[in-house]
Amino acid sequence: MSTRTARSILPGFGLSLGFTITYLSLIVLLPLSAAFIKTSGMTWAEFVDAVASPRVLASYRVSFGISFLAATVNAFFGLIVAWVLVRYKFPGKRIVDALVDLPFALPTAVAGIALTAIYARNGFLGFLEPVWAGGVAQLGAWFPWGNWAEWLGLKIAFDRPGIFIALTFIGLPFVVRTLQPVLEELEPELEEASSTLGATRWQTIRKVIFPELLPALITGFAMAFARALGEYGSVVFIAGNMPMHSEITPLLIITKLEQYDYRGATAIASVLLVASFVLLLIINLLQKWSRRHHKI
Amino acid sequence: MASVVSHLQKSGSSRAHASSVTQDAPWVRWTLTTVALLFLGSFILLPLGAVFAEALRKGWGVFFAAFTDPDAVAAIKLTLITTAIAVPSNVLFGVAAAWCITKFQFRGKSVLLTLIDLPFAVSPVIAGLIFVLVFGLQGWMGHYQNAENPWFPWLQQWLVDKDFKIIFATPGIILATIFVTFPFVARELIPLMQAQGTDEEYAAVTLGANGWQTFWRVTLPNIKWGLFYGVILCNARAMGEFGAVSVVSGHIRGETNTMPLHVEILYNEYQFSAAFAVASLLALLAIVTLVLKSLVEWAHTRSNG
């Protein structure tokens, strides 16, 4: 696009690049490196002790497990929402489309207390709690080999289902917003060809449309998962925060900080950071794959 | 990760699907639309409605009383100050980053792009933690203040004399806010300016404009909607940030509490109506953000279509 001669025509390269790199280093790189420098000052035994104690391991299971579940549910419903918003016409569509972004715009603490107010026992959907508890008890009766009450929780707010609801809320826009542009680019000719060649509508969706959407769907899933993993504000109000049961990893970092255990907090943070960076890398690769797939 | 926030690049033209083979059967359409609307209604509309319902549960008197409380006023002020510094800083950075990335070729560009995205991948709690590690009493700055033979003794003296604090004070809150809102403007401008290319700037420079004239009269008018879009998203996140600010603030009432932290304190003290009253102000901000965002997208599609 731009050649060697072009480079010299426009001014401001040194100034803008210099400012960009200085600002980036001071605000992002230097503070982030502090986390790894602090961690590298620990011995291996100290590190393992901090990041693999039973309570921390339990928090990984809660955070990774429920984030994965929430991202999966978002992938399923996000696909339907994106499909409906792109393909169908209905009154109020513009408003519905704008509302999808609410979880981006609503402060997480506000989302947290609002969800808690709805799902607490005296809340608007509080009647669901006995229903849920009954269902879990029934599951235990049918499949007695599982510890269902411990895995699924007997309450909705202040228990694991509450964490799931909060993480689904904050991850919701990612899948919809990654799928929408891909769906809009999808050429109707493709479907017409498939239909002309004798495929049923269901075969067309399964074998023609779905493979086209898959890279974007996985990207959206990974983004929702990454976001849920680090989420704090909306979860703490509704989680109940019981150690070993409904304590998420970011909350454990704050708990360690409040006990002045800076090394413990930083060690756990570095584990979470590495997980996030790996996810960011996967997302970048997926987006490259998706772009090549669509030759944009 | 921010790319999903951006819609300005998406093609505005929606095709008319006239042929019947590309259309789903009516029952499929009805079922999917109902499922989508129920899902969005229960997960998005319900929480939004709950905020306002809870805020007004004890009447308008209690609602307005929540805002006359001096601690609430202090929290609103601190939120406004923080945003007034964080957003312009990130605008300046976003414009500079977009200028050098889209108008010039250099090595390491893709690395730079990834690094700009980094704060989106970092948990807000960790964003707060890293500033505690750098500026906290147990961190680098604390070590420096207590060092026996420091570099720049006058600086150490000055820090000790002024009792200069970053963590558990306003500067820390501003830094954490800048960190979490870091990529918004840059990620909005870069794809936009990439799509626009450099021809108009070359023309301006060839006709004798200097750098600033080129920027103000050629580049800025072209990117004004994208810039505005980035600013409103950045602003919404800056005003509502909770996790990162919570770590560095120290929760001193009337001093280092922002609005979301004030909501948390009221909530934990069982002053639910007051908590939801302040929360409703933040929810209103979210709604205004969504409305402005839709308007910008609408204006953009119209001007392009």
For B3-31, write each residue's pLDDT tens digit: 444 555 544 444 444 456 677 888 999 99
Q: Is residue B44 part of a domain?
A: no
Q: Is residue B60 part of a domain?
A: no
Cβ distance B176 to B248 under 8 Å?
yes
Q: Is residue B182 part of a domain?
A: yes
pLDDT score, position B55: 95
Q: Is the ipTM of this complex over 0.85?
A: yes
Closest CA of chain A from B160, distance in Å:
22
Q: What percent of chain A shows pLDDT beyond 70?
A: 96
- Domain total of chain B: 1
d(CA B46, CA A115): 8
- What's the predicted TM-score (pTM) here? 0.92
d(CA B260, CA B264): 6
Closest CA of chain B from A47, distance in Å:
17
- The SS3 of residue B202 is helix
Closest CA of chain B from A58, distance in Å:
19
Does the structure show a pLDDT above 50 at A4? no
Contact partners, residue B287, CB within 8 Å, separation at least 6: A105, B48
Nearest CA-CA partner of A212 in A233, A241, A183: A183
Handedness of CA B168, B74, A239, A272 (dihedral sign): negative
Phi-psi region of B302 (alpha: psi -120 to 50; beta: other; left: phi over 0): alpha
Residue B270 vs residues A106, A113, B244, B263, B267: alpha-carbon distances, Å: 22, 12, 24, 11, 5
Taking residue A53's Cβ as centre, other Cβ atoms within 10 Å add up to 14
For A184-236, write each residue's pLDDT tens digit: 988 888 888 888 898 888 888 888 899 889 999 999 999 999 999 999 999 99
Does the structure show a pLDDT above 50 at A1? no
Token duo for residue B135: 């500026």
Check CB contact under 8 Å for A184 and B11.
yes
- Residue A3's φ and ψ, nearest 5 degrees, are -105, 180
* Pure H helices in B8-152: 26-40, 46-55, 59-68, 70-103, 109-121, 124-135, 140-145
Q: Is residue B106 part of a domain?
A: yes
How many beta-carbon pairs under 8 angstroms link A with B?
A: 326
Closest CA of chain B from A234, distance in Å:
9
Q: Is residue B24 part of a domain?
A: no
d(CA A200, CA A61): 43
Q: Which residues of chain B make contact with A97, given a CB cutoff of 8 A?
A: 294
Check CB contact under 8 Å for A9 and B206.
yes
What CATH number does the domain containing B206 carry?
1.10.3720.10
Cβ distance A126 to B50 under 8 Å?
no
pLDDT score, position B20: 65
Check CB contact under 8 Å for A20 and B96.
yes
pLDDT score, position B304: 67
d(CA B238, CA B262): 15
Interface test with B, best of A10, A196, A209 (most B CBs within 10 A): A10
Taking CA–CA distances from B24, the nearest residue in chain A reads A201
Nearest to B276 among A113, A123, A237 (CB): A113
Q: What is the mean pLDDT of residues A257-278?
A: 94
pLDDT score, position B11: 43
Nearest to B116 among A24, A81, A184 (CB): A24
User: Which of A141-150, A212-221, B78-87 ranks highest by mean pLDDT?
Assistant: B78-87
d(CA A157, CA B218): 54
Check CB contact under 8 Å for B119 and A28.
yes
Handedness of CA B196, B199, B204, B208 (dihedral sign): positive
Which region among A90-104, A282-296, B66-80 has the lowest average model confidence (pLDDT)? A282-296
Confidence label for A5 from pLDDT (cuts 50, 70 and 90)? very low
Does the structure show a pLDDT above 90 at B138? no
Check CB contact under 8 Å for B210 and A195.
no
When the pLDDT of each residue in chain B is averaged and rounded to a whole number, the result is 89
Taking CA–CA distances from A226, the nearest residue in chain B reads B121
Check CB contact under 8 Å for B21 and A38.
no
Q: Is residue B61 part of a domain?
A: no
Q: Is residue B294 part of a domain?
A: yes
d(CA B113, CA B124): 20
- Residue B191's φ and ψ, nearest 5 degrees, are -65, -35
For B209-218, write each residue's pLDDT tens digit: 888 999 999 9
Check CB contact under 8 Å for A84 and B32.
yes
Half-sphere exposure of A289 (CA within 13 A, CB side): 15
Cβ distance A133 to A109 under 8 Å?
no
Q: Is residue B22 part of a domain?
A: no
What's the domain range around B92?
66-304
